[in-house]
Amino acid sequence: MTKPKQAERSPESLLPLTPATFQILMALVDGERHGYAIMKEVEELTEGTVRLGAGTLYGSLKRLLEAGVVEEGAECADPELGIERRRYYRLTRFGLAVTRAEARRMEAVVRTARQKKLIGLRAT
């Protein structure tokens, strides 16, 4: 898989992200994880409202790898899940910038929704 030249692209050029992609990136913000750990983290982050299937997860990871947003880490066993070797994935620096850019975009959307009183006012 060829990685695109990141210097030529701004993180904003990949926005908006699909909801599944954004959740995967959010799951990787705290550090590298293997596929099943990403699934569990997404479920936890979204309080069970988003349950990724293997096809959706690895389809997204394929695109993220190609876009240089995510990179492959080591392949090793997860002691909590047994002896099977698992591939770990982590955010690249560009990937972190993309995740930040998407979070800022969503923040702006939420701000507008608040201004229009579609959702509650921020508690300070």
Residues at the interface with another protein (CB under 8 A): 13-18, 21, 34-36, 39, 51, 53-64, 67, 69, 81, 84, 86-87
Q: In the complex with another protein, which residue's Cβ is closer, 82 or 120?
A: 82
Contact 55, 46 (CB under 8 A): no
CB-based burial, 75-114: b 16+ in 10 Å, e otherwise: eeeeeeeeeeebebbbbbebbbbbbebbeeeeeeeeeeee
Give dist(CA 22, CA 41) in Å, integer. Answer: 12
User: How far, rounded to the nearest angstrom, does the alpha carbon of residue 117 sit from its chain's CA centroid?
Assistant: 29
Cβ at position 106, least distance to another protein in Å: 15
- Cβ distance to another protein smaller for residue 85 or 114: 85
State in angstroms the smallest separation of the CB of 118 from another protein. Answer: 25
**Please, what sign has the CA dihedral across residues 28, 30, 35, 37?**
negative
Q: Which of 100, 114 has the CB closer to another protein?
A: 100
Please report how close the Cβ of residue 115 comes to another protein at its closest, in angstroms.
25
Q: What is the side-by-side order of every strand in the sheet holding 70-77?
A: 33-34, 85-91, 70-77
Nearer to another protein by Cβ, of 31 and 53: the residue is: 53
CB of 47 to another protein, least distance (A): 17
